[in-house]
Amino acid sequence: MDFIQIIKLLSGGMAVSIYIFVVTLLFSLPLGLLISFGRMSKNPVISGIIKAYISVMRGTPLMLQLMVVYFGPYYVFGIQVTNSYRIVAALIGFVINYAAYFAEIYRGGIQSIDRGQYEAAEVLGYTRVQTFFVIILPQVVKRILPAVTNEVITLVKDTSLAFTISVAEMFTTAKALASSQTSMMPFVAAALFYYVFNYVVAFTMEFFEKKLGYYR
């Protein structure tokens, strides 16, 4: 079996990996921002709950979290899970995990903005919401982009952890193909896919970083 044939056989797994990556980013980035607001809340109950959530998400392996999300409904509530729930569980696990990391990145960026900018915006007649989205957020995005890029690159590789709950993503497909063909070529093809995927992500993030260069 030649390399092109292997790529074709792995295409289904590639599509699943890309799907997990895209959906995770679409939901975890805005969710992370909301969580960061809760983390900075002056209400000790809200900030305490959010702090505990972030601590658990960052302090336990993503692989374990995926297993809890998938098997939890059955062992805790007695709900029978189906095969179609695997991909849903994987998406939920990835989103809640990465949202916690993004929340801390957002928090660091927001708290790095000088307080005087809020006061100046208030003098100019901006509401708190307008101040945040028009003045503060663009600067925060510029400052946190390198850290976000690192997390996004990690996400590309972490999609392989979906194999924990038997989601047929890229790594799972490559492993099965390597076993059936008794060949290392599927792993080489998978490694090439992850490398190219990460290269495209890094190039794209660098492009946005340059576009936001006027906030220096």
Tens-level pLDDT at each residue, the chain (216 residues): 677 888 888 888 899 999 999 999 999 999 999 999 999 999 999 999 999 999 999 999 999 999 999 999 988 888 888 878 999 999 999 999 999 999 999 999 999 988 888 888 888 888 888 898 888 988 898 899 999 999 999 999 999 999 999 898 888 888 888 888 788 888 898 999 999 999 999 999 888 888 776 555
pLDDT of residue 208: 84
Report residue 31 as tokens: 């969710």
- CA distances in angstroms from 211 to 65, 110, 138, 154, 214, listed in the order given: 36, 20, 11, 23, 7
pLDDT of residue 28: 97
pLDDT of residue 108: 94
* Predicted structure pTM score: 0.90
Distance CA 141, CA 133 (A): 11
Q: Rounded to the nearest 10 degrees, how much is the dihedral formed by the CA atoms of 89, 95, 96, 100? A: 160
Give the CATH number of domain 3-215; options: 3.40.50.300, 1.10.10.10, 1.10.3720.10, 3.30.460.80. 1.10.3720.10
Angle between helices 85-111 and 62-77 (to 10 degrees): 130
